[in-house]
Structure 1
């Protein structure tokens, strides 16, 4: 599955339940990478060139550029690396919050085939070399398909109506 395929499926969701932000400028992508001395995965860059952040039924993907909205990759990178009790490792980029202080992050140590592993960072857990954060997906595309699209479609239709679930 490609980012374009995922965007096509995201566009099937009603505007009542999804917010898609306008594409980001190349300058904002370059500025983020330069300011944090880190490379963004190419699949994420491909996404934000078309949709610079989104929110679907409470699941958020941050956009690049502090001006984007309150869900900014820039603001949250700084917060999670400099202003919390348990700061993230420098190579992690938090791109999606879980609503409880934790984040899904890009593990940029190993960018392969234009993507990298997505890990789950629990904000209050003392990770070690022998006990690192959990890898949840091997790429952003697989994460979007599973977490953003499939998990939403378990309970809701594309129009936002709840799916009927018979009592078992």
Structure 2
């Protein structure tokens, strides 16, 4: 079975930046991939938080150059929230895929078995993100780089970076 592909259309400072296309490793981390795919389509409706289970309109709240871009907190927008399609949190599955370079997509979490909706895109070139569930960003490294340029060492973005639209391809 083919792995699903999803996209984020990104705006930076209110201006269109481009599209990021991601391949989800549904054969390796099926529950994680399905959670991410459904959050891209919004097909699960409204979550327990009362917010849509959808990345559309969600910002990237933490951007650290040469390390990572983090977003997906559609409940609070600041990294303290998020909700999965399975309720609040769901367990880790495996860590077979390594972060071998820029463009690897992972679930951000607060420790073992605390996955929700937040995701991280790596922008580094070494494997500093070992122990994360990985998926691959296949195209538009330019867009990822443009988001990274809005970051700071504290992680606070200089411009608002938003998922203007998202869906499964």
TM-score when normalising by structure 2:
0.26
Which structure has the highest helix share of the two?
Answer: 1
Structure with bigger RCO (C-alpha 8 Å, 6+ apart): 2
**TM-score, normalisation: structure 1:** 0.27
